[in-house]
Amino acid sequence: MANSIAIGIDLGTVYSCVSVFQNGKLEIISNEQGNRTTPSCVEFTNNERLIGDAARSQISINSKNTIFGFKRLIGHKFDDATVQADMKHWPFKVINDRGKPKIQVEYKNQMKLFTSEELSSMILANMKNIAEIYLGKNVSEAVLTVPAHFNYSQRQAIKDAGTIAGLNVLRVLDESTAAGIAYGFDKRMSDERNVLVFDLGGSNVNVTILKIEEDIFKVKSTAGSTHVGGEDFVNRMVEYFAQEFKCKYNKDLQGNKRTLRRLHTACECAKLTLSSSCKASIEIDSLHEDIDFYSTITRHCFEELNIDLFHSILELIEKALRDARVNKANIDDIVLVGGSTRIPKVQQLLQDFFNGKQLNKLMNPDEAIAYGAAVQAAILTDNQSEAIKNVLLLDVAPFSLGIETVNGVMTTLIKSNTEIPTEETQTFSLTSFPKSQSGIIIKVFEGENPITKDNHLLDNFEFSGMLLNSDDGLEIEITFDIDAKNILTILVSDKTSGKEKRMTFTNKSEHLSKDEIQRMIVDAKIYKKEDEIQRNRIRVKNSFESHCFNMKAKINDKNLKDQINVYDKKKMIDAIDNILTWSETNQFAEQEEFENKQNDVETLFRIEGFEDIPLLSLENAVKHLENIIPNVRRNAWIAKERSIVVADGITQDESAAIQLYTMEWKPSDQSFYIHINTALRESNRDRLTPFLYYLKLVLTALWKLPSIKTTVWSDVKGDLSIQYPIGKEFVWWGFSSCTKSRRFLEQEEFLGKTGVRILFRIECETGKSIRAHSYSKTESEILLFPATRMRVINQMDSNDDAVVIQLQEIKSPFLLLQSPFM
């Protein structure tokens, strides 16, 4: 476990963020677009599924199938007032499926229903993938964060989402607690301090009070609300401007969800502007029925629209202080977390409430929660770093837990904000519970109300086997046990018979069943496979189109006007234009079709040209080689200074490389050879193209040096007569050299996967002489460079049971860049 890497994920309503603790430090992992946070947004189309930035950009275009804000549905029933209120602002369809809200989309021409757990799992799987790309290894464990006021049902739903995403969820951590850990980890406090973490995000507000001393984080209390956040502030603005539009033009926008989404997007921008300016503009062309809508809103107006929500925040802070039994004057630090804490009015209210105390804004409010989750993930995987070795988190139960007794009374066993792990036991008379045919029914609730109907039912179970008809003196003992992971286990004991029943709560009545979770796991794997196929298809398509445009640019290069006649030039350009036209009208063609079209383009050219990049300016061109280029350059110049005068017309870079070639010198850095060979074995040849010229020079310089082996063989599979039939043409990626006195380059034997030994014999052009560059000035050599076009001219058996494949170098009529050695 100590060698595994676990990540921390802040699964936000609007944006999500992933972090990792490694090498003694915390890192936020950027996504493929380079952004440190990723929109919690999923789009479904007829061809693909998009997640994150790509999906968010399509909200206005494909509003019915671009899903966001689904975290607000977790743990709620369809008829809940909050769900009905949210549905008014969403352009996509939410339906009632046996009391549960599910989102309906059209995906690949089929109607599909998704739960909030399943959609959340897609975001988590995407964050997992972002981490795996960065870390270069599989990630299977994570700590996930939730709003502090999430109940057991909602926390289990997040765990289910993690399971569907392929994650082992080590812990579900309160968001504000995670932010507190990040703050304490950064500050390293030696004295005891009371820290209030105020987290105002996209859809919820959390308040946590912690006592932090050195590496011990003790949660004193938590409080929160699910429907106070940035989205709610924006929705108030949308309603305001929709009413203004109705007054101006007598047109009601409420029935047009796509129009409301465009207005919502404009209001989001205005909200951000108002954090730094006193006024913001709304400008939307053809908002509704070709009517352009232009308006403004002041910061004061925005504050008045949301004043009740802002003040409700202070009520939560007061509750957290009461539960922690801490006076506000004893709060040492107030830490702001969540993007909506940037709102000036929020900061003013907080500062006024704490009598002018300075607010701590040093942490990035968008990233602090993920940082804390990553610290906890590292602790739970036994990371031995000195930085976290002694960190201890003492958390609390977010809600009171109890059972229903006579007349629907909530009898509490564990009070909210009790430090966990904890265990409480109470004894009850059988008359306290309703009876079934074989026993009694025990109903377990969470919540703060004295009557159970106003609290949340976790589950109920039957305890049977008692003597129900005996006198009422019989008693049972009920124990509630909460472990460090906040998992509740209940033990019921009949004191008379000694019968016991134990139950660990997974809230079966509301959570996904095991069969549903398994089905979603299978579906997630299918979606992932489909996404990979789509990504590969797009990669091949983009590579194909880029190749076409590059070829056109090279053909039109004025430096090649003497090498390509007008007729051939027009023929090639027309052919490429026709292929590009096909691509434009077949955007969703299969990967194989694009590959075939690229092969059609390549038949127009016999050789791919080298890019003429000077050796001495490539420090950052190739990641594999960036550490060794200074070594090459230094020794090349040493060689040049010691050398005799070389032939005229040779560039400075070439001269240095050639002189290095002629010296009996071996670099002290043995990794030099490793990097050279690593580059030559790069499977993505597109990545090699920019520095083939550089490799050519370096390999020429190194060819005679000891311990260097530069020829790279392609893997041979299947029947050789099929793989290398006579007449087949292909690109040779090796680097070879022999004296000019030999007409053939006989390469070393190679053992293919068929078990057959293969000897390549290459018939070369004899004009590639470097005689003028040789140290002795008498030696002539033939050079065969990477990316040389070959044709199979014969196959034969040798005397030692090897197959000899005879190749002939093809001199291309459209050689795009002449080698300086030719």
Sheet holding 110-114, edge to edge: 93-97, 100-107, 110-114
199 assigned to active site? yes
Q: How far is CA 513 from CA 98, 457, 508, 510, 572, in A?
A: 14, 17, 7, 9, 61
Span 620-627, average pLDDT: 42
Give Rg (Cα) of the chain. 35
Residue 18 phi/psi, 5° resolution?
Answer: -125, 140
Span 562-585, average pLDDT: 75
Select which of 117, 141, 199, 323 is catalytic.
199
308 assigned to active site? no
Q: Where are the domains of the chain?
A: 6-228+310-392, 402-511, 515-602, 615-809
Q: Using alpha carbons, select from 735, 674, 678 the residue that is nearest to residue 710.
A: 735
Number of Cβ within a 10 Å radius of residue 818: 11
Say how far apart CA 449 and CA 370 lie, in whole Å. Answer: 33
Q: Using alpha carbons, select from 796, 800, 795, 769 the residue that is nearest to residue 783.
A: 769
Least confident of 109-113, 139-143, 491-495, 738-742: 738-742
pLDDT, tens only, 641-700:
444 433 444 444 444 444 444 433 334 444 444 455 455 444 455 555 545 545 555 555
- Global pTM reads 0.68
Select which of 43, 117, 118, 175 is catalytic.
175
113 pLDDT more than 70 = yes
Select which of 48, 71, 128, 531 is catalytic.
71
> According to the model, what pLDDT value does residue 218 have?
92
Say how far apart CA 428 and CA 478 lie, in whole Å. Answer: 8
* Confidence grade of residue 15 (pLDDT, cut at 50, 70, 90): very high
Residue 421 phi/psi, 5° resolution?
Answer: -70, 155
* Confidence grade of residue 759 (pLDDT, cut at 50, 70, 90): low
Query: Which of helix, strand or coil describes residue 365?
Result: coil
Q: Using alpha carbons, select from 469, 414, 410, 402 the residue that is nearest to residue 440.
A: 469
The upper half-sphere exposure of residue 378, i.e. CA atoms within 13 Å in the direction of its Cβ, equals: 29
Q: How far is CA 313 from CA 9, 130, 223, 271, 335, in A?
A: 25, 34, 10, 18, 15
10 assigned to active site? yes
Q: Using alpha carbons, select from 86, 90, 87 the residue that is nearest to residue 66.
A: 90
* Confidence grade of residue 470 (pLDDT, cut at 50, 70, 90): low
The upper half-sphere exposure of residue 525, i.e. CA atoms within 13 Å in the direction of its Cβ, equals: 8
Pick the CATH number of 515-602 from 3.30.590.20, 1.20.1270.10, 3.30.70.580, 3.50.50.60: 1.20.1270.10
Q: How far is CA 707 from CA 360, 582, 670, 702, in A?
A: 60, 50, 9, 10
Say how far apart CA 50 and CA 308 lie, in whole Å. Answer: 37
Q: Using alpha carbons, select from 369, 373, 395 the residue that is nearest to residue 220.
A: 395
Q: How far is CA 464 from CA 18, 88, 133, 437, in A?
A: 47, 47, 53, 9
> According to the model, what pLDDT value does residue 616 have?
28
Enumerate the β-bridge partners of residue 169: 142
Q: How far is CA 768 from CA 149, 307, 444, 777, in A?
A: 76, 82, 87, 15
Span 472-494, average pLDDT: 85
pLDDT, tens only, 704-739:
333 333 333 344 444 555 667 888 876 665 545 555
Span 312-339, average pLDDT: 94
Helix (H) or strand (E) holding 181: helix 175-187
Enumerate the β-bridge partners of residue 501: 492
Name the average pLDDT for the chain: 77
12 pLDDT more than 90 = yes
Look up residue 396 and give its DSSP letter: B
Query: Which residues, in sequence order, are CB contacts of 136 under 8 Å at separation 6+?
Result: none
Select which of 10, 231, 333, 608 is catalytic.
10
* Confidence grade of residue 815 (pLDDT, cut at 50, 70, 90): very low
> According to the model, what pLDDT value does residue 490 have?
92
pLDDT, tens only, 176-216:
999 999 998 877 767 889 999 999 998 889 999 999 988 88
Percent of the chain with pLDDT over 70: 71
Query: Which superfamily does 402-511 belong to?
Result: Substrate Binding Domain Of DNAk; Chain A, domain 1 (2.60.34.10)
786 pLDDT more than 70 = no
Least confident of 252-256, 336-340, 516-520, 766-770: 766-770
Say how far apart CA 809 and CA 267 lie, in whole Å. Answer: 65
Q: Which amino acid is at 670?
A: Q
* Confidence grade of residue 315 (pLDDT, cut at 50, 70, 90): very high
Query: Which of helix, strand or coil describes residue 781?
Result: strand
Domain 6-228+310-392: state its class. Answer: alpha beta
